[in-house]
């Protein structure tokens, strides 16, 4: 007995990169079956470039999943071609994950859109959700002081963004699927800004940018790369408020970032 799939089922499998063989109608041309476990060809979820990060693989899987009821237009397409204003509007209207149901404001980012420095944090907290701006409250004050020590400011050659654009309930840790849904927005912000240095603050910012699960302590002290931009790993200001001795390590990370910004001799 042959398995006959309706149009919706065939479309779902096609979106997942799986081609299912169905026997042809009587007298019709035959086609060779394809193993459902065979990696998808170009256009499918498994057709990722060699060396793709874990975050990119999760993003590909999530984006390939059929939309659930009521989520048909959850996130507009063409993010990679959006201007700053179009991107901000897309974030404000995004309903790609459940975080949209509990937010007061999306937290797009703040600062100089021609800045050399990009600061990437993890996710908005309660104060950020209320104000719609990243890094406010005590952690934001510490960040402002850290920037001031370098002769920088929140609106002076600095742009600040988070991995997530909506607050997780109770300030819980971001979930992998939430990071994956927001990743195209952060990627486009980096492409538009074209910073000279990225300062990744906190575990989830580091994991999203570098696709690494290594501890921050093992990733500090050297330059990494994201879209060709040097990345320096450091602790989140909220962590530093609870672990004062590590402020000296964070200062060393700032000095490394400043050193990478200086013109290199020929």
Q: What angle do CA 200, 203, 204 make, to 5 degrees?
A: 85
- Does residue 58 fall inside a structural domain? no
d(CA 153, CA 155): 5
Share of the chain above pLDDT 70, in %: 70
In degrees and rounded to multiples of 5, residue 152 shows phi and psi of -115, 170
Of the candidates 152, 114, 164, 105, the residue with the CA atom closest to the CA atom of residue 133: 105
- Which pLDDT tens digit goes with each residue over 115-174? 999 999 999 999 999 999 999 989 999 999 999 999 999 999 999 999 999 999 998 999
d(CA 115, CA 136): 20
- Does residue 201 fall inside a structural domain? yes
- Does residue 66 fall inside a structural domain? no
- Does residue 4 fall inside a structural domain? no
**Total structural domains within the chain:** 1
- Does residue 49 fall inside a structural domain? no
d(CA 19, CA 35): 8
pLDDT reading at 114 higher than 50: yes
pTM above 0.75, yes or no: no
- Does residue 200 fall inside a structural domain? yes
- Does residue 91 fall inside a structural domain? yes
d(CA 206, CA 200): 6
Per-residue pLDDT averaged across 245-266, rounded? 90
263: CB partners within 8 A, 6+ apart: none
Mean pLDDT estimate for the chain: 79
What residues make up the domain containing 190? 79-261
- Which pLDDT tens digit goes with each residue over 214-252? 999 999 999 999 999 999 999 999 999 999 999 999 999
- Does residue 94 fall inside a structural domain? yes
Q: CATH number, domain at 86?
A: 3.40.470.10
d(CA 172, CA 170): 5
């Amino acid at each position: 007995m042959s398995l006959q799939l309706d149009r919706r089922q065939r479309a779902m499998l096609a979106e997942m990169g799986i081609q299912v063989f169905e026997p042809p109608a009587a007298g019709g041309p035959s086609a060779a079956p394809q193993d459902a476990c065979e990696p998808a060809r170009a256009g499918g979820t498994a057709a990722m470039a060699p060396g793709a990060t874990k975050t990119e693989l999760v993003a590909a899987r999530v984006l390939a999943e059929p939309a659930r009821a009521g989520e048909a237009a959850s996130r507009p397409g063409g993010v990679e071609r959006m201007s700053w204003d179009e991107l901000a509007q897309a974030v404000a209207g995004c309903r790609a994950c459940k975080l949209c149901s509990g937010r007061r404001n999306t937290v797009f980012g703040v600062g100089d859109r021609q800045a050399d420095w990009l600061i990437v944090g993890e996710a908005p907290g309660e104060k950020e959700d209320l104000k719609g701006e990243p890094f406010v409250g005590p952690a934001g004050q510490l960040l402002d002081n850290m920037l001031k020590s370098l002769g920088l400011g929140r609106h002076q050659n600095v742009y600040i963004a988070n991995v997530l654009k909506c607050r997780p309930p109770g300030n819980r840790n971001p979930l992998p699927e939430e990071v994956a849904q927001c990743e195209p927005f952060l990627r486009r912000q980096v492409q538009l800004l074209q910073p000279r240095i990225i300062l990744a603050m906190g575990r989830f910012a580091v994991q999203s940018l570098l696709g690494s699960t290594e501890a921050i302590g093992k990733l500090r002290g050297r330059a990494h790369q994201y879209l060709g931009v040097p990345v320096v790993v450091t602790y989140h200001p909220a962590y530093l408020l609870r672990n004062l001795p590590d402020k000296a390590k964070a200062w060393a990370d700032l000095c490394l970032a400043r050193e990478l910004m200086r013109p290199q001799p020929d």
